[in-house]
Amino acid sequence: MAAELYPTSDPGAANRLGLIAEGTTRKVGQPFFDSLVHCLAEVLRADFAMVARLTDGSPGRAHTLAYWANGGLARSFAYDLKGTPCEQVLGRRVCSYPEGVQKSFPDDAILRDLQIEAYVGIPLVDSQGNSLGLMSALFLRKLNDLENEVADVQNTLRIFAARATAELERLQSEHQLRITQFMVDSAHLPVYRIDTGGCIRYANRSACVSLGYTEEELLGLSIWQIDPSVSAVGWQSMLHDLQELGIHELESIHERKDGSRFPVRVQASLMEYEGESYLAAFVHDLTRRKELEHLLDQSRRMESLGRLAGGIAHDFNNLLTAIIGYGELARQQARPGSSMRKRLDKLCMAAGSGARLTSQLLAFSRKRVLRSDTVDLNQLLSDTMDLLQPLLGEGLELVLDLAGDLGYVRGEAGQIEQVLVNLALNSRDAMPDGGTLRMATYNQSGDQAERQAAPHVVIEVSDDGDGIAPEHIPRIFEPFYTTKDQGHGTGLGLATCYAVMQQHRGRVELSSQLGRGTTVRLLFPRTDARLEAVVAPTNNATAAGNETILIVEDLEMLRTLAETQLSKLGYRVLTAVDGVEALELSRSYEGPIALLMTDVVMPRMGGCALSACMLEERPQLKVLYCSGYTRDAIVENGVLDPEAAFIQKPFTLKTLAARIRALLDKSGGLLELPHA
């Protein structure tokens, strides 16, 4: 058959072709190529024969699949095609050099080293016309043109090129299939092949790991055994959707071998292979995304509650200002030691407790930017001991474990102290029968904690109390969430701790076990700043004066209260309900006005706009702003200059008198007023 297609003058050609066919029949893969080059070398009387494939990603380079040399199979090798007859082969159907091939390709080291005289090669081209490789025979002798030897060699190569190409295509397909299988098996994304009956027929390694099964255990399970949300009816509905749309995507729940569940997103498509339909499913684990969504939702809820808490605190501070002020006025008129005086004392104490509660609300709502002082946490804990011991009672032992080389932090000592008090009270309530509360400090460098890129200073508060149930821990820092009995907690203690630590650019961590106690870690960014010198404020509690003060307040009860209080101290007091009325009063008043005390936010004209107008007309005027919000909340919203003198409601007469006197006596520069 082969001899008829390619007639040759050589009477033994048919026998030789038959030998090659017989030698390569029923062989595949490497045995086929080994047998092919052997037979080619024998029947063509070639000294060398080879089959080579082009190297993936390097079209100018080839690698031999089989190489016959010196009467036997030799080790395969890779070589560059440039400057070789093989390069010419890839551009033609067949390429022949009956003699002098070295002269035609002087840079070909293989031809030179082997002393090759003649060369015949043919490309291996697939059905799409793409070059896959080449097959060639090399001779140490010249080819005899008189005997049509060149044509015989060419015809022989042509006949077996098709078989070699088919085998090469098959090997490449298998290679690509193995690569694809490896990629799917190694993919981090779980991949499944499921038959139309819902039975899992394939699962990659990631799928097995995600569910905790071995491959043998997982194969053969039905889809509803790993996805509780899928039923047999639901499966048929999904198949119907896939037949209509070709692809289906949904969020669901997968169940591990141990019974635990986790959220997933499944992308499924329907495909057919050899007459059978299969579902290909790619599964994304949504655990981390759901956690982030929960944190975002929690953050939004905290922000909303914070705004609500800040608004409540603002209005409550206005009420407390009136309660404290009028309570003090009544207390001054009551006889010392009388029952009325005692009742008024309790009233003032209750109002003070209310003021502390609004302070926590404002801290939780982040309506105040904390003072940025350098704080020695060791000293702070030592100073707090005297405050904590009476709160804890005799049944609890308070132990301090302070690091000797503790770094400093930036923040506000008063707020950190409030956090420690809140934590100590929580520990006290968790140890009704007594126990030990331990407060420790230590440095944590950046490389000691996986998530810390910078060094931190840590306060660790731990107790051996009842502990917290695991189901409560995810919500433990939410405002108004408490595990205590009704009437024994506001639910603001830990929420305030969380808010204060956020304002300090730190973090709070909590771990707890039922019956074994709770540990809270406060992590503060460490600073290289040194401690500032602390200057004790002068006590001007009863400071009086005779200057003229203009009070601008839209709430009548507060306006009347301030007028009464300051008049008792000897000041001449003018009052106005808002900025417009105050400006008219200032322009009609002929005498000097020493100080403007104004609310920040008022109808028609606010305090900042009023002060700007009055300062143009009265350059020597001193201004004291007041508000139920904190200074920093107002500054943060761009309403108030950060260097303006400010007093926060509620305030006592003692605090108000001291601040007014300090402001009037100050000649210039930024005024640091004493805290309420």
What are the tens digits of pLDDT across the range 248-303?
A: 888 889 999 999 999 999 888 888 877 788 888 899 998 888 888 877 776 677 66
**Selected residue with higher pLDDT from 371 and 93:** 93
Q: State the pLDDT confidence band at 7, using cuts at 50, 70 and 90.
A: very low
Q: Across residues 114-129, what is the average pLDDT?
A: 90
**Contact between residue 518 and residue 427 where contact means Cβ atoms under 8 Å apart:** yes
Please give the mean pLDDT across all residues of the chain: 80
Statement: residue 139 has pLDDT above 90: yes
Q: State the pLDDT confidence band at 420, using cuts at 50, 70 and 90.
A: confident
Q: State the pLDDT confidence band at 111, using cuts at 50, 70 and 90.
A: very high
Residue whose C-alpha is closest to residue 94's, from 32, 152, 25 = 152
Low-confidence winner among 13-17, 318-322, 502-506 (lowest mean pLDDT): 13-17
Residue 31 CA to residue 27 CA, distance in Å, equals: 6
**Contact between residue 635 and residue 643 where contact means Cβ atoms under 8 Å apart:** no
The pLDDT score that the predictor gives to residue 383 is 82
**Secondary structure string (H, E, C) spanning 193-246:** EEECCCEEEEECHHHHHHHCCCHHHHCCCEHHHHCCCCCHHHHHHHHHHHHHHC
**How far, in Å, are 86, 89, 479, 623 from residue 113 at the CA level?**
16, 21, 86, 101
**How far, in Å, are 50, 121, 340 from residue 102 at the CA level?**
18, 15, 124
442 - beta bridge partners? 458
Residue 566 CA to residue 650 CA, distance in Å, equals: 16
Residue 166 DSSP class: H
Q: How many CB atoms lie within 10 A of CB 225?
A: 15
The pLDDT score that the predictor gives to residue 674 is 39
Instruction: Kindly provide the residue ranges of all beta strands, DSSP E only, lying in 286-385, ordered along the sequence.
Output: 373-375
Statement: residue 670 has pLDDT above 70: no
Q: Which two tokens stand for residue 334?
A: 């009551």
Give the amino acid at 83: G
Residue 131 CA to residue 308 CA, distance in Å, equals: 74
pTM of the model: 0.47
Percent of the chain with pLDDT over 90: 19
**Contact between residue 675 and residue 669 where contact means Cβ atoms under 8 Å apart:** no
Q: Which two tokens stand for residue 627?
A: 């508000």
User: Tokens 């209080």 map to which residue?
Assistant: 565
Low-confidence winner among 72-76, 186-190, 533-537, 571-575 (lowest mean pLDDT): 533-537
The pLDDT score that the predictor gives to residue 123 is 92
Residue 24 CA to residue 160 CA, distance in Å, equals: 10
pLDDT, tens digit (0-9, with 9 covering 90-100), for 341-377:
888 888 877 777 677 667 666 665 555 545 567 889 9
Statement: residue 9 has pLDDT above 60: no
pLDDT, tens digit (0-9, with 9 covering 90-100), for 392-411:
777 788 888 998 888 889 88
The pLDDT score that the predictor gives to residue 142 is 92
pLDDT, tens digit (0-9, with 9 covering 90-100), for 510-569:
888 888 889 999 999 988 766 554 444 444 445 678 899 999 988 888 888 888 888 888
The pLDDT score that the predictor gives to residue 330 is 83
Residue whose C-alpha is closest to residue 96's, from 50, 41, 154 = 154
Q: State the pLDDT confidence band at 419, using cuts at 50, 70 and 90.
A: confident
**Selected residue with higher pLDDT from 180 and 362:** 180
Q: Is 430 left (phi over 0), alpha (psi -120 to 50) or beta?
A: alpha
Statement: residue 636 has pLDDT above 70: no
Omega before 650 cis (within 30°)? yes
Residue 598 CA to residue 459 CA, distance in Å, equals: 41
CA distance between the termini of the chain: 112
Q: DSSP 3-state assignment of 257?
A: coil
Q: How many CB atoms lie within 10 A of CB 427?
A: 26
Q: Which of 152-156, 440-444, 474-478 has the highest mean pLDDT?
A: 440-444
Percent of the chain with pLDDT over 70: 83
User: Tokens 């290679």 map to which residue?
Assistant: 175
Q: DSSP 3-state assignment of 58?
A: strand
**Contact between residue 226 and residue 254 where contact means Cβ atoms under 8 Å apart:** yes
The pLDDT score that the predictor gives to residue 648 is 79
The pLDDT score that the predictor gives to residue 300 is 74
**Contact between residue 36 and residue 160 where contact means Cβ atoms under 8 Å apart:** yes
Residue whose C-alpha is closest to residue 363's, from 296, 294, 429, 411 = 411
Residue 160 DSSP class: H
**Selected residue with higher pLDDT from 1 and 50:** 50
The pLDDT score that the predictor gives to residue 421 is 84
Statement: residue 175 has pLDDT above 70: yes
**Contact between residue 444 and residue 507 where contact means Cβ atoms under 8 Å apart:** no
Statement: residue 188 has pLDDT above 90: no
Q: DSSP 3-state assignment of 44?
A: coil
Instruction: Give the angle 328-331-335 at the CA atoms, nearest 5°.
Output: 160
pLDDT, tens digit (0-9, with 9 covering 90-100), for 567-622:
888 999 999 998 899 899 999 998 899 999 998 888 888 888 898 899 999 999 99
Give the amino acid at 452: Q
**Selected residue with higher pLDDT from 12 and 620:** 620
**How far, in Å, are 382, 391, 429, 502, 670 from residue 438 at the CA level?**
13, 15, 15, 23, 41
**Contact between residue 152 and residue 8 where contact means Cβ atoms under 8 Å apart:** yes
Statement: residue 19 has pLDDT above 70: no
The pLDDT score that the predictor gives to residue 550 is 93
